[in-house]
Structures are given as C-alpha cells and as structure tokens.
Structure 1
Amino acid sequence: MPERIEADYIIETSDDPRRAAEAAAGEQSSGTFVPVPGETPELKQRSAARIEALDLLETVSTPSLPGSAGTPPDGHFQRARVTLSWPLDNLGPSLPNLVATVAGNLFELKQFSGLRLLDIRLPDAFGGAYPGPKFGIVGTRRLAGVHQRPIVGTIVKPSVGFGPAETANLTQTMCEAGLDFIKDDELQSDGPHCPFDDRARAVMRVVNEHADRTGRKVMFAFNITGEIDQMRRRHDLVLKLGGTCVMASLNSVGLVGMIELGRFSQLPIHAHRNGWGYLSRAPMLGWSYIAWQKIWRLAGADHMHVNGLANKFSEPDDSVIASARECLTPMFADKPCLAMPVFSSGQSAKQVPPTYAALGSADLIFAAGGGIMAHPGGPAAGVAALREAWDTTLRNAPSAASADFGPVEAKAS
C-alpha cells in the first residue's frame, strides 16, 4: 500500500494540464491562489501535494462544465489522467478529512472544465482506524443460511403506502415464496402511516414464526435511516426482536452517520446508494464508484448496491460489473474489507447468466422487486425462476465443478 494518500482524476482544462494539476495540488494542500509568507520550501517539502503522474488523453472542442477560465488558443480543451498524492501527516487516518482533501474545492477551480475522481489508494493506517465490514460476505451468508450461491432477495413493493399489518402480510407471502432476503424500500422508514417500531414488530413476528416452522430465518433489512440517535434506537429494537440486518441510505445519513452506525451495529449493514446519480451521472464531474465505495466499505458497509445488468437506470453494464468487482477486491493486505455487491433495479431471471459470466463470482445479493412480485405465476414462481436460473448457471459454468465461489480479486480498471 502507498505511504501517501493517492487519488486518480480525469481532468479537462483550457490551460496547460500540468499547470492546472499544480493548481489543484496547491488548493488541496499547502497553497492558495497567491503566495503566502509562511509557505516556505521546508513546509512544501513536508506538506504539499505532489503530482505523481500526468498522462495526456484526447481533446474536445466544447467544455464539459460552465465557469471555466479562458478559451484555449487552438480551440480545444485538453483532457488528462492525473495522480495526486498527499502525506498522511496532513490529515491522519480520518475519512471525513480524506473526503475534504481528495474531493473538496478542486471541483470548483476555474482551471477545470471537467474533473472526476476515479480512484483512491490509502495507507494501512486507514485500515487500522476504521472497523470496515463486521460481517461482509462470510457473516452475511452465515446469518442468511445461504452458501455457494447468490442470496436471492426482493424489495417490499409498493414502496410506501402499506401500514405495519399490510407489510407483515406481504412479508409472510415473501417468506413462504422461498426468499433468502427482503428489504424495506429506501423510501420507507418511520412515517406516521407506517411507524418503524410497529412495522419492525409486525414483520419480525412473521419472520420468527416462519423460522420456527422451517428452521430457516429470512434476512430482512430494516431501513433505519435517520439521525444518529434514531438509528441506534431502531438498530437496538431490530436486534432485540431477532432481526439479522439493518439498512441505511448513505447519502442521507452522511459519512459521520455511517461511521457511527458501523461502530455500534451488531448486525450487517445494507448500504443503499440512492442519490448516486447526482454524484456520477455527468461523465466529467463527480466520483467514480470505484473510489466512492471504498469510503463506505471502510466505514462499515457490509452490502453495497451496484445497480444491475440491463437495469432501469442509465448506468451501462460494464460500469455495473466494474463496481461489483471492486466491492470484492481487498483494500488492504491485512484487512480486505470485502463487501457483498447487491444487484438490483429491473432484475429478473434473464440477467442471471450474463451477471455470473461477467462477475465470475456467486458472492452477491440478487434483488428483484418486480421480477418476483409481478411474476405472472406469483411471488413463489418468481423466486423459483430465479433460483432455477442461478442453479443452472452455476452448474453449467466451466469451473463450477471445482469452484468454491469465493470473492474475486481482479482489480477493476
């Protein structure tokens, strides 16, 4: 692992790319827009960000973002891939301050008509400072009672509108259909029509009764998104009722909220990425998922949403697979911090063979909402179709006879 914090970017500028990268390095470390007396050569040597690499890419004739300074002499804006690095001593192993460093004011610099964070690499000190996933793949499989195949799940639909009793009735139907995993929709948390405590008690009564009859407890991810004290209280109630999973919306609870949840949680944390589009959809602005998901895994996320193949959103399939592979790629030699990728959004049995062919691992949650709940034969038929699709795909995979379906370790590009 690097001794310094490293971050890769793609930039677009009307200026000389190295000069623009130097502006970013200065803005995000010891410098500012004018020289200041205290910024001595010794201080720069100790604390300044460095340009570790700069590779020119293509040029474009139109700036990707408004507000950039000047028009290039030849009418073309230059793109480049840049790696910056910072000494760990600037901030220490602090995730909130890491985000301020690698993804702070540099997005606003008018030297850039485009800037996107592609990846980050962290010293081992970060692995020692944060818990990472407490359950991850192994713990999730143990609690769900599912081994050597994907965990098949669904989402409570309609997303909102049901009260506690209706949600519990639907949960009973889904348990009897043979599901491994059920989750609240991210829109359902603690509204007056469906209070969290009443819903949790009603749902867990059904889940526990089903477990008593069958010997198998369905994992239900309760959406505990809220303020930190609310999340703690809701988590404690789920734990007391015998639940095996909680869910939080990352962009809603924020980094500090997720860090605190990761520290006190005694259950797997199902991390929902709703809002991801506003961080990523503009190709020359924001974050790559490759960089973004590392922050949340280190904070304690056990499951990370990655979208799905042929999904209902705008993300292309190669990006989905790169995201999922990255969740299964170790972050540190002594602390892998692996999270189980969650495939969802318009998924059904038809996406099963290409998902496994592209990912090369069965360590995933495959969540189908409409693909199960709207199946012509009913939810049980929808679950059966998914299970059959996965069983067939794994049985026919070239390496299926000898594979243990452990985490893949290929580095996503």
Structure 2
Amino acid sequence: MRHSNRIEADYILETHIAPEKAAQIIAGEQSSGTFVAVPGETPELKALAAAEVVSLETIDTYTGRPALEGRYPTDGAMLIHRVKMTLSWPLATVGTSLPNLLATVAGNLFELACVSGLRITDIRLPVAFFDKYKGPAFGIAGTRELSGVATGPLVGTIIKPSVGLTPEQTASAVSELVTGGIDFIKDDELQSDSDVCPFDQRVEQVMRVINESADRTGRKAMYAFNLTGELDEMRWRHDKLVSAGATCLMVSLNSVGLAAFLELRSFSQLPIHAHRNGWGYLTRHRSLGWSYVAWQKIWRLAGADHMHVNGIDNKFSEDNETVLQAARECLTPMSEDKPCLVMPVFSSGQSVLQADSTYSGLKSDDLIVTAGGGIMAHPKGPAAGVQALREAWQAAMAGEALSSAAERSENLRLAAGIRA
C-alpha cells in the first residue's frame, strides 16, 4: 500500500562494480540521465525528475563468475556484490500510466553493462494509480455469485486433450463434467480459434450444454473461453460470449500485452481469467526478471479477476512455498480503498493428493483449483473425478486425513490410488 507521490520498486542487484555506483547508473538511466552529462540536466531538473536510490542493503559478496552473460572486463572470476536496492521516482514525471510504469521500473536497466543480475521483487504505487485504474470488476465475490459457489474452492478442470477436439467433442466432454457437478471449466491456453475447433462453434456447442443444464438444475457452470487475439478479435469474441450467456473469458497476459489487456478490461462484461503462460521466461533465472509479488500487482490493478499461480507439487520448476506465496499475494489487499483481491488459480498436475497441503498452506478457501488429468483421467470417468476432488477438499477443510475420507468414498479412494 502507498499514499505518497512517489513510485517505489525493490530489486535484487548483482554487480561487479561498487553497488553505490551501479545503483546511481541505474537510477540515472531510468530517469533524467544518460551515459554522459547532457545540457539541461541541471541540479534543479535532477531534484525534480531524477530517480532516487532509497536504500542499498548488502546480501553477500563473493568471488566468482557473473550470473548473466555480458561484456565484462575479464573472462575469469570477479568480485561480485549482491544487494537489495530500492529506487523511487516522482509521480509527476512518470504519470499514472501502467505501460509507462513498466518502462520505468522494468525497462533498460536489466541490460546495463554494470548489471550482472537484476530482479524486481516488489513495487509500491501512489494512490493516484488506484484512482485511475478500475481493478477487478468481479474478483472473488463476483466469481462466487456467478458460479453459485458460496464457500469452498471452485472445483474445476481444463479441457483435455488441449487441442484437437472438435466443438462437438468439446461439448460432449463438458456435458459429462456439468452432469458431475463441476464448478469451473476452462479452455487450454493453446486453444483459441482454429480450423479444428473454431471459436464461434465451440462457444455455441458448449454454451448450449451449459445453458440446458442450468435450466434443469438452477446452477450454471462457469466456462472460461480463451479469446486471446488481436484487439478487434477479442472484442468480437467477447460480444459472442455475452450473447451466448457465458459467464467468463480467458486471456493470455503475455501474448496480448498490457495495453491490449487494459482495452479488454474497458469493455468486458465478464470476469477475466488471466493466464500467465510464458511466466517462465520472466522469472526462471533467480538473478533476472520479476518476482510474482511485483508482477501480479500490475495485472490486478489493470483488472484481472482470476490469476494463475501454478500448483502444489506441480510439473514445472517452482517450489511449493513460491506457489503459496503467489497465491497469498492474490488475497492480500493492494490498497485500503481498492484492495483488488482476485481468485488465485491452482493448476499443473493437481489432483486429490494436493488438497490438504494447498489448504493448510493458503489458509483460505478462496481459490479455483483446476485438475485436468486429475479429473478427466479418473477410472470411473470425469463425473467421478469431479466428486473425488470435491470430497478431498471437503476433508481438507474439515481437518480430516485423505485416507480416512477415502474409506467412505470409492471415487476418492480410486483417485488417491489407495488400495481397498
């Protein structure tokens, strides 16, 4: 939370020169300065517009090779400094533009010659940003209202195979899932609009199934259709979803970019399920890129309603504590007046086996858990997979061991691989 007229960003900086000098180079590059003194960069202008080095705190110093490739004075070992660095910028010269904010806090600084490693770990924004940007339109409360799930996680899945199914085959899978009582279904991020499964036809076929089920049961499963595309395509696809009675849309954040996402938020009448595919190239190296703590704040303020955070014991590279920290951040208020709380979405190799550790680590039932194979590959079919995952979460929230709950449920026992 922040209420000053300055923007702050925290970094882990690695450098082979004096950290104080490196920090000043970075601050100059990212505000009023350049590599040489220029006419007009007066002390008065610097006082008004320059970035400030708020703090430097040593983490460690060692002799070795730089974390990242670069143009260094030697090919051998060097004295390397790692420090925590905080920079700040005056709001008056940056403005309240999220795209320009990115250019400021995460622009050319990463490739400076004095930088052998740099990772942005957090940002703090003045209240003017929260006055300008809408944040999530639906968030947790709106998602629960539309899905009819008042408490507990939204039990969900991803259509699998990811691509290759026709609209009719997709609708058939959805029919099994809604019959089984699923709360949430999403397209895989690879599935948008193809010759095999055109967007329009997929929407028509899937929503026919969902709407008919809702008419019978009074409860409507939420389906996040992937409308990722160019601006005109996303607007047209959004309108198609609204007219078909859909209650969610999905977009790949790193594919469409921040400006396109803001435009989507400006006209969307549906919750925006924000997929972070491509996140690895922003974060995988520990000495480069973004932490999720900082990155997710941009998209929450921009208007995401759900945000992917990976999953416990996932198939990717993140450890469990990093995943849980990401999820907790989604549930941590950004501002007193505009908290921008969003639903964290757990995915990637999820099944009944992770329910207890997810709940005990998150300490909240405000989440969407999506199990692809964990539901679709159940020995008794997807409906049994849905029921098993729901029972696993009910046990976790009640503090009951999975093995104990499985004694009462064949579906849960089969899903957990527990022998009778």
- TM-score computed with the length of structure 1 as normaliser: 0.94
Structure 1 residue 72, shift from structure 2 partner: 11
Instruction: For 1:71 and 1:305, locate their aligned partners in 2 and report how far apart those are by CA, in whole Å.
Output: 42
- TM-score computed with the length of structure 2 as normaliser: 0.93
Give 5+ residue unaligned stretches, structure 2. Answer: 401-420
Aligned to 1:287: 290
Instruction: For 1:68 and 1:181, locate their aligned partners in 2 and report how far apart those are by CA, in whole Å.
Output: 50
Q: Secondary structure at the match of 1:162?
A: coil
Instruction: For 2:172 and 2:353, locate their aligned partners in 1 and report how far apart those are by CA, in whole Å.
Output: 28
Q: Residue 262 of structure 1 contacts residue 299 of structure 1 at CA under 8 Å; is this kept in 2?
A: yes
Q: Partner amino acid for 1:231?
A: M
Instruction: For 2:77 and 2:181, locate their aligned partners in 1 and report how far apart those are by CA, in whole Å.
Output: 63
Aligned to 1:246: 249
Q: Partner amino acid for 2:241?
A: V
Instruction: For 1:307 and 1:272, locate their aligned partners in 2 and report how far apart those are by CA, in whole Å.
Output: 10
Structure 1 residue 334, shift from structure 2 partner: 0.3
Structure 1 residue 382, shift from structure 2 partner: 1.2
Aligned-pair Cα RMSD in Å: 1.3
1:19-168 mapped onto 2 (5 Å cutoff): 19-60=21-62, 61-71=64-74, 75-168=78-171
Aligned to 1:405: none
Q: Deviations over 1:136-193 (max 9, x none)?
A: 0000000000012000000000000011111111110111121100000000111111
Q: Residue 65 of structure 2 contacts residue 76 of structure 2 at CA under 8 Å; is this kept in 1?
A: no
Q: Residue 68 of structure 1 contacts residue 113 of structure 1 at CA under 8 Å; is this kept in 2?
A: no
Q: Residue 270 of structure 1 contacts residue 301 of structure 1 at CA under 8 Å; is this kept in 2?
A: yes
Q: Residue 14 of structure 1 contacts residue 72 of structure 1 at CA under 8 Å; is this kept in 2?
A: no
Instruction: For 1:17 and 1:172, locate their aligned partners in 2 and report how far apart those are by CA, in whole Å.
Output: 60
Matched, 1:372 2:369: no
Q: Pick the aligned partner of 1:319 from 319, 322, 335.
A: 322
Instruction: For 2:354 and 2:98, locate their aligned partners in 1 and report how far apart those are by CA, in whole Å.
Output: 36
Aligned to 1:329: 332
Q: Deviations over 1:260-300 (max 9, x none)?
A: 11111000000000000011101100111111111111111
Q: Secondary structure at the match of 1:76?
A: strand
Q: Deviations over 1:171-222 (max 9, x none)?
A: 1011112110000000011111111011101100000001111111000000
Structure 1 residue 322, shift from structure 2 partner: 0.7
Q: Residue 14 of structure 1 contacts residue 71 of structure 1 at CA under 8 Å; is this kept in 2?
A: no
- Say if 1:218 and 1:212 are closer, same or farther in 2 by CA, change over 3 A: same
Instruction: For 1:281 and 1:59, locate their aligned partners in 2 and report how far apart those are by CA, in whole Å.
Output: 23
Q: Partner amino acid for 1:150?
A: P
Structure 1 residue 377, shift from structure 2 partner: 2.2
Instruction: For 2:399 and 2:321, locate their aligned partners in 1 and report how far apart those are by CA, in whole Å.
Output: 23
Q: Pick the aligned partner of 1:206 from 209, 219, 242.
A: 209
Instruction: For 1:71 and 1:326, locate their aligned partners in 2 and report how far apart those are by CA, in whole Å.
Output: 41
Aligned to 1:298: 301
Aligned to 1:356: 359
Q: Deviations over 1:10-49 (max 9, x none)?
A: 0111000011011000000000000111100000000000
Instruction: For 1:199 and 1:381, locate their aligned partners in 2 and report how far apart those are by CA, in whole Å.
Output: 25
1:216-235 mapped onto 2 (5 Å cutoff): 216-235=219-238
Q: Secondary structure at the match of 1:169?
A: helix
Count of matched residue positions in the alignment of Structure 1 and Structure 2: 397
Q: Partner amino acid for 2:186?
A: K
Q: Secondary structure at the match of 1:306?
A: strand
Instruction: For 1:299 and 1:265, locate their aligned partners in 2 and report how far apart those are by CA, in whole Å.
Output: 12
Aligned to 1:401: none
Aligned to 1:274: 277
Deviates more, 1:138-147 or 1:373-382: 373-382
Structure 1 residue 69, shift from structure 2 partner: 3.1
Instruction: For 2:294 and 2:311, locate their aligned partners in 1 and report how far apart those are by CA, in whole Å.
Output: 19
Instruction: For 1:89 and 1:174, locate their aligned partners in 2 and report how far apart those are by CA, in whole Å.
Output: 52
Structure 1 residue 323, shift from structure 2 partner: 0.5
Q: Partner amino acid for 1:80?
A: V
Matched, 1:15 2:17: yes
Q: Deviations over 1:347-396 (max 9, x none)?
A: 00110011011111110000000000011222122111111111111122
- Say if 1:43 and 1:200 are closer, same or farther in 2 by CA, change over 3 A: same
Structure 1 residue 73, shift from structure 2 partner: 11
Q: Secondary structure at the match of 2:78?
A: coil
Instruction: For 1:294 and 1:55, locate their aligned partners in 2 and report how far apart those are by CA, in whole Å.
Output: 24
Q: Partner amino acid for 1:31?
A: G
Instruction: For 2:291 and 2:71, locate their aligned partners in 1 and report how far apart those are by CA, in whole Å.
Output: 22
- Say if 1:230 and 1:131 are closer, same or farther in 2 by CA, change over 3 A: same
Q: Residue 342 of structure 1 contacts residue 366 of structure 1 at CA under 8 Å; is this kept in 2?
A: yes
- Say if 1:73 and 1:371 are closer, same or farther in 2 by CA, change over 3 A: closer
Instruction: For 1:357 and 1:75, locate their aligned partners in 2 and report how far apart those are by CA, in whole Å.
Output: 44
Q: Partner amino acid for 2:377?
A: A
Instruction: For 2:41 and 2:186, locate their aligned partners in 1 and report how far apart those are by CA, in whole Å.
Output: 53
